[in-house]
Each structure stands twice: as structure tokens, then as C-alpha cells.
């Protein structure tokens, strides 16, 4: 007897469960605002036109095949991925200080970073990782899975519906020296609220003064503001400090390559010698977990990033997605104001990226699901991409009814 009959059944993932409930619902007015995946104005998944073009190029290439990628991934892809991330600090690339390992999308990058830091750092000195409260739920479970103690910094000031800058600063200053801090580089998930540039600078001062190890998670570069450089501003500002740090990069949202699992883990090293050592150790982790990364998405991304014409078209596609989301933000806010819905709703348009933290309570969320067939997280987070011109007024009416 192996004791497996004593297993405690794990809870299904809350977001994927909501998605399944949505699929089962037969009401024509149903709205899916659960999962963070872009939808067009008809509520359909959108293959970026640039991705369509790039995939044709990739498949027409006479050298196209299904061979393994190298352990570190597709070199053309990882190099180009580093270039769009660190464009304002391209001296780091010239100095050969950026170690880049292709990952199973952003989740895989987070995992490899966590596993490396657990083995080579946290297990030796007992450092804890500090994640924002709230955050993408996988951040907690993933670091717990590699036995690193998880602490939080208070990100969301619920009363004022804003970033709790003072609370975050206090934790950065009081955490034991050399702690690990996981930061959302842009478009914070789930709140949609980012620190201002002044606030970032103060946070970086505190992080550096306390010698904390920084890991940036960037899952929405270009998707958030429509501008690649604006969305990578924070991590490039930090890079100016010349301190080493990690970046977990995903192309799921900004290229719409969700299921292709396309991403990269980067480490900015002090010098090229450390970079080389890091590369070798991260390759060992890669070998022992996935052996080598998925090829197709990396080929598509490399084709886009390596061709000036496709690159320009990608930027256009990014603007298409981000501007549709911003229109939905304005529309939802205006509808709520027009309905004279109790409360203030400017936070919907102040927030950025895939999500909006509406401020609705779990009971109000439940009400919206039962009475209006709206599917979104109990914490009040809605995926903005689920809204379109045919359903946004229905959503506003539901919110209005729920909060009265």
C-alpha cells in the first residue's frame, strides 16, 4: 500500500474552474471575464495578423523541421527577446552580461528562477521571497513548491483603491537584508495598478540599500500601454543601478502565443564570467525539468523580432489590443457613471493592462454570476478583454444592481 488513498484532493484552479462554468452556462447573455486572454470585439480569440504572417514564413522555411531545440533554447529568439527588454540598456548586451534561457512561457521562467534561487541562495541563508498582496496566485504556490518561505508586501490599499506605496516601502525597509523581492514590471496582476515612476525610484533605493535580490516578472510588455519601451521602463531604471537581477518574460499576451508557451528567463550579471557560469547552472535546471523548450512559438517570435517590417506590424497589433482594452475601460466607467451607480469608478480607467480590480465584494461577484451570468474572480478582478461593445452595458447594469 503506497498510501495514495489518503491523498487530500487538491482544489481545482479557481480561474480555470470559472472558465469551465462559463462554458457550461447556456444563457446567451453570459460574459467571460475570468481568464487573462485577449478577445476581439466579437469575443473571439485573436491571432495577431503579424503572428499569422510569421507562422507562414516559419513553415515555408526549407530548413523547418521538428528537431529538438538546444537546452538553452533558440538562440535567435532569446537574443532578440533580451534586446526588446533591455533596449535602453543595450550596453548590457554588448558587454555580454545578459544570460537568457528560453522557458515554458512566463510560468516556466518564474519556476526556473525560483528553483535556482532556492537551491543556490535561499536554502543557504534562509531568505524569504516577498510577493505583492494580492498577486498572480501561482507566485505563492510556485515558490512554496521549491520550499522558499513566502512573505508579502501590502500592494493594494482597498479603502482608497490605490497602490499602498507606504506599506510596500515599510516592508522593503524592514525585511531582513538580502531578502528576495518579486516585482510586477508593469500592468500588475490582479490590480491593474502600477507604481508611479517616482515611487519606483524610491522602491529601488530601498531595495538596493537593503541588498535585496530582485526578480521582475514581465508578462505584459507592450500589451499594457501599447508601447514596449514604456512598459519595460521600471526594470531598465533598476538596471541602471548595476546590481544583478532576474527577469521572467512571457510572450503569451503580447504576441497572443498563449498555448505555444513562449518565454524567457534573463539574468543580468555583473560581468560576462558570472553570466557564463549562470548560463551553465540554469541549463542544468532546464535539462532536469523540461530537457529543452518548445520550438514553434520561439520560431514565430524570432521571425517577428528579427524582421523590421514584421516588428513594426507587431507594434501596430499591440496598439490594436491595448487601445481596444482602453476603450472598454472608458465605456464601462461611463456606463456606470450614467447609471449613477453608487461609488467612484475612475479606478477602472486609471488601471492598466489585462485586468481591472473593480472593488466588488465576493458576495457582489456571486450575485453577478447568479443573476447576470458574469464569470469573474471572487476578488472582484475582471479580465478587460472579456468586454466588447455588445456586452459592456450588460456588465455595467449587473455591477449597478450588485452594489445597490
- Which part of the chain contacts ligand PMP (CB under 6 A), choosing from 55-63, 80-88, 99-107, 394-402? 99-107
- Which part of the chain contacts ligand PMP (CB under 6 A), choosing from 19-27, 91-99, 102-110, 126-134? 102-110
Task: Figure out which of the listed residues 219, 265, 282, 368 binds ligand PMP, where binding follows CB under 6 A.
Answer: 219
Residues 168-197 that bind ligand PMP (CB under 6 A): 184, 189
253 catalytic, yes or no?
A: yes
Of 246 and 367, the one with the shorter C-beta distance to ligand PMP is 246
* CA dist list (Å): 284 to 68, 81, 94, 213, 359: 16, 21, 25, 22, 44
Whose cell is 465605456? That residue is 331
* CA dist list (Å): 206 to 89, 134, 163, 245, 365: 22, 21, 17, 15, 37
| Residue in the shown chain whose Cβ atom is closest to ligand PMP | 106
Helices (H) and strands (E) in the chain, counts: 17, 13
Task: Figure out which of the listed residues 48, 186, 252, 365 binds ligand PMP, where binding follows CB under 6 A.
Answer: 252
Task: Figure out which of the listed residues 102, 105, 254, 364 binds ligand PMP, where binding follows CB under 6 A.
Answer: 105
Least separation in angstroms between CB 265 and ligand PMP: 12
Name beta bridge partners: 342: none
Whose cell is 479603502? That residue is 159
Q: What is the distance between the alpha carbons of residues 111 and 118, in angstroms, rounded to a whole number?
A: 10
Task: Figure out which of the listed residues 217, 231, 260, 317 binds ligand PMP, where binding follows CB under 6 A.
Answer: 217
E strand intervals along 227-292? 245-250, 262-268
154: nearest Cα among 142, 163, 144, 143: 163
Contact between 393 and 227 (Cβ < 8 Å): no
Least separation in angstroms between CB 34 and ligand PMP: 11
- Which part of the chain contacts ligand PMP (CB under 6 A), choosing from 146-154, 250-258, 373-381, 392-400? 250-258
Q: What is the distance between the alpha carbons of residues 402 and 400, in angstroms, rounded to a whole number?
A: 5
Q: What is the distance between the alpha carbons of residues 297 and 37, in angstroms, rounded to a whole number?
A: 16
Q: What is the distance between the alpha carbons of residues 80 and 234, in angstroms, rounded to a whole number?
A: 19
Binding of residue 136 to ligand PMP (CB under 6 A): yes
Active-site residue, from 53, 253, 314, 345: 253
Name beta bridge partners: 356: 382
- Which part of the chain contacts ligand PMP (CB under 6 A), choosing from 85-93, 101-109, 112-120, 165-173? 101-109
Of 191 and 250, the one with the shorter C-beta distance to ligand PMP is 250
Chain CA centroid to CA 105, Å: 10
Of 46 and 136, the one with the shorter C-beta distance to ligand PMP is 136
173 catalytic, yes or no?
A: no
Q: What is the distance between the alpha carbons of residues 367 and 26, in angstroms, rounded to a whole number?
A: 18
Of 105 and 232, the one with the shorter C-beta distance to ligand PMP is 105
Q: What is the distance between the alpha carbons of residues 194 and 176, in angstroms, rounded to a whole number?
A: 25
Least separation in angstroms between CB 371 and ligand PMP: 28
Binding of residue 107 to ligand PMP (CB under 6 A): yes
143 catalytic, yes or no?
A: no
Active-site residue, from 194, 217, 231, 244: 217
Q: Which residues are catalytic?
A: 136, 217, 253
**Residues making contact with ligand PMP (CB under 6 A):** 36, 105-107, 136, 184, 189, 217, 219, 250, 252, 258, 263
Amino acid at each position: 500500500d503506497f498510501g495514495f488513498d489518503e491523498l487530500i484532493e487538491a482544489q481545482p484552479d479557481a480561474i480555470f474552474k470559472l472558465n469551465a462554468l462559463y462554458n457550461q452556462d447556456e444563457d446567451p447573455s453570459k460574459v467571460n471575464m475570468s481568464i487573462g486572454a485577449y478577445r476581439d470585439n466579437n469575443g473571439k480569440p485573436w491571432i495577431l495578423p503579424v503572428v499569422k504572417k510569421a507562422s507562414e514564413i516559419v513553415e515555408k522555411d526549407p530548413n523547418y523541421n521538428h528537431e529538438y531545440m538546444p537546452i538553452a533554447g533558440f538562440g535567435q529568439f532569446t537574443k532578440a527577446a533580451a534586446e526588446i527588454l533591455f533596449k535602453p540598456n543595450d550596453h548590457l548586451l554588448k558587454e555580454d552580461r545578459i544570460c537568457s534561457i528560453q522557458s515554458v512561457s512566463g510560468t516556466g521562467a518564474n519556476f526556473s528562477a525560483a528553483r535556482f534561487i532556492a537551491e543556490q541562495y535561499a536554502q543557504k541563508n534562509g531568505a524569504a521571497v516577498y510577493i505583492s498582496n494580492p498577486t498572480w496566485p501561482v507566485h505563492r504556490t510556485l515558490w512554496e513548491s521549491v520550499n522558499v518561505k513566502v512573505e508579502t508586501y501590502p500592494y493594494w490599499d482597498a479603502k482608497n483603491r490605490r497602490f499602498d506605496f507606504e506599506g510596500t516601502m515599510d516592508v522593503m525597509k524592514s525585511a531582513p537584508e538580502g531578502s528576495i523581492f518579486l516585482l510586477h514590471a508593469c500592468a500588475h496582476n490582479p490590480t491593474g495598478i502600477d507604481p508611479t515612476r517616482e515611487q519606483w525610484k524610491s522602491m529601488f533605493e530601498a531595495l538596493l540599500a537593503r541588498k535585496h535580490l530582485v526578480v521582475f516578472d514581465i508578462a505584459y510588455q507592450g500589451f499594457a500601454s501599447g508601447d514596449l519601451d514604456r512598459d519595460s521602463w521600471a526594470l531598465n531604471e533598476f538596471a541602471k543601478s548595476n546590481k544583478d537581477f532576474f527577469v521572467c518574460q512571457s510572450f503569451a499576451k503580447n504576441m497572443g502565443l498563449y498555448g505555444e508557451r513562449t518565454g524567457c528567463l534573463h539574468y543580468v550579471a555583473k560581468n560576462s564570467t558570472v553570466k557564463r557560469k549562470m548560463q551553465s547552472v540554469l541549463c542544468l535546471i532546464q535539462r532536469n525539468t523540461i530537457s529543452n523548450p518548445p520550438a514553434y512559438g520561439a520560431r514565430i517570435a524570432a521571425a517577428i523580432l528579427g524582421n523590421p517590417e514584421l516588428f513594426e506590424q507587431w507594434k501596430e497589433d499591440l496598439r490594436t489590443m491595448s487601445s481596444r482594452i482602453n476603450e472598454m475601460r472608458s465605456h464601462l466607467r461611463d456606463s456606470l457613471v450614467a447609471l449613477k451607480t453608487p461609488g467612484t469608478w475612475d479606478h477602472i480607467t486609471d488601471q492598466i493592462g489585462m485586468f481591472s480590480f473593480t472593488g466588488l465584494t465576493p458576495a457582489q461577484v456571486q450575485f453577478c454570476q447568479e443573476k447576470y451570468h458574469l464569470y469573474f474572480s471572487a476578488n472582484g478582478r475582471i479580465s478587460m478583454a472579456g468586454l466588447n461593445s455588445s456586452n459592456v452595458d450588460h456588465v455595467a447594469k449587473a455591477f449597478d444592481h450588485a452594489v445597490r
